[in-house]
């Protein structure tokens, strides 16, 4: 009897150790829910570059925690049908594609059910500038915002109001959240008048005055400013966030604020990726 009990304990101990050893292997081999590819340039403005370095640390971390893969590249020539076929979600971290064949490939990808998330400067266009509004499908139809109109300065936090509490992107968010410091954009078009656009978060009136100047037009004292929205005809999401505060005055280029040092805003981004990667249009 004693021998049988002793043997039983050895068998139980064996199986406990066996599952303890192999369970991490199963976890590592678990098929990812979806794959994300981020395109970026990383050459325009130290504040954007700082944010992109931060993004390329943040996204691998949350991908491991939420079972999806994250790759990034500065090679915009990879924006083609063959390469995109391997990914379910595309991110534009800073800029947009400039070559006609890249733009055509992205449009086809989106029209065929691909998903996209863009940050801050990815929606920028101003004629004349280094980024002219020379892509009507993207700025007029897809984003709906048209050209850039103005911005706040310096980068400051804002109180953001959730416009639609029932959307998967805003799941478990409070009515308002405090953002990380950011340079906020105003757009040519009033997105509230576009039936295809669903605004998910906007700047709450308690944020005003927003910005510190020194120029008067860099301080917003009233108005309606959407900061996160989707186009109901595509699996897409635009977020105005993506500009860290930088010590320009002392010419140190030291980062003074961080986009992803914000629990509520990070949850918004995680919700967004999970919705784009696994949800329907």
φ/ψ of 93, rounded to 5, equals -80, -30
160 Rama sector, left if φ>0, alpha if ψ -120 to 50, beta otherwise: beta
Does residue 89 lie within any of the structural domains?
yes
Assess if residue 12 is contained within a domain: no
Which letter does DSSP use for residue 154 in this model?
A: S
For residue 122, being part of any structural domain is answered with yes
Q: Report whether 179 contacts 265 (CB < 8 A).
A: yes
Q: Measure Cα distances from 93 to 47, 55, 243 in Å.
A: 13, 8, 11
What was the pLDDT predicted at 269?
Answer: 98
pLDDT, position 27: 44
Summarised one tens digit per residue, pLDDT across range 116-163 is 999 999 999 999 999 999 999 999 999 999 999 999 999 999 999 999
pLDDT tens digits, the chain, 281 residues: what are they? Answer: 544 445 555 555 555 455 555 444 444 458 999 999 999 999 978 999 999 999 999 999 999 999 999 999 999 999 999 999 999 999 999 999 999 999 999 999 999 999 999 999 999 999 999 999 999 999 999 999 999 999 999 999 999 999 999 999 999 999 999 999 999 999 999 999 999 999 999 999 999 999 999 999 999 999 999 999 999 999 999 999 999 999 988 999 999 999 999 999 999 999 999 999 997 65
pLDDT in the model for residue 220: 98
Number of compact structural domains in the chain: 1
Q: What is the pLDDT of residues 173-198, one digit of tens each?
A: 999 999 999 999 999 999 999 999 99
pTM of the model: 0.89
Angle, helices 46-66 vs 263-278, to 10°: value is 60
* Residue 26, domain member (yes or no): no
- Give dist(CA 263, CA 102) in Å, integer: 35
In angstroms, the CA 275 to CA 195 distance is: 21
Q: Is residue 258 domain-resident?
A: yes
Give CA–CA dist 177/49, Å, rounded: 25
Examine residue 22 and state whether it is found in any structural domain, yes or no. Answer: no
Residue 47 placed within a domain: yes
Q: Is residue 37 part of a domain?
A: yes
- Would you tell me how many other CB atoms lie within 10 Å of the CB of residue 46? 14
**Nearest one of 86, 47, 56, 101 to 74, comparing CA atoms:** 56
Q: Determine the structural domain holding residue 147 and report its residue range.
A: 32-278
CATH of the domain at 236: 3.40.50.880
């Amino acid at each position: 009897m004693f021998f049988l009990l002793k043997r039983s304990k050895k068998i139980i101990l064996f199986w406990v150790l066996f599952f303890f050893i192999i369970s991490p292997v199963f976890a590592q081999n678990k098929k990812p829910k979806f794959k994300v590819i981020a395109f970026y340039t990383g050459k325009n403005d130290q504040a954007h570059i700082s944010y992109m370095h931060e993004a390329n640390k943040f996204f691998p971390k949350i991908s491991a925690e939420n079972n999806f893969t994250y790759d990034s590249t500065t090679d915009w020539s990879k924006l083609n049908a063959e390469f995109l076929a391997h990914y379910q979600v595309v991110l534009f971290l800073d800029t947009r594609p400039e070559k006609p064949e890249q733009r055509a490939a992205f449009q086809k990808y989106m029209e065929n059910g691909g998903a996209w998330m863009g940050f801050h400067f990815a929606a920028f266009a101003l004629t004349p500038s280094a980024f002219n509004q020379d892509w009507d499908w993207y700025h007029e139809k897809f984003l709906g915002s048209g050209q850039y109109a103005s911005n706040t300065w310096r980068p400051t936090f804002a109180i953001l109001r959730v416009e639609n509490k029932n959307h998967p992107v805003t799941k478990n968010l409070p009515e308002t959240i405090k953002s990380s410091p950011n340079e906020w954009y105003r757009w040519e078009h009033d997105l509230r008048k576009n039936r295809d656009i669903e605004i998910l978060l906007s700047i709450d009136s308690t944020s005003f005055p927003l910005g510190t100047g020194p120029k008067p037009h860099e301080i917003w004292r009233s108005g309606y400013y959407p900061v996160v929205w989707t186009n109901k005809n595509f699996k897409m999401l635009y977020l105005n966030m993506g500009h860290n505060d930088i010590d320009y005055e002392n010419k140190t280029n030291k980062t003074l604020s961080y986009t992803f040092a914000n629990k509520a805003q990070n949850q918004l981004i995680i919700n967004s990726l999970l919705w784009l990667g696994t949800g329907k249009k």
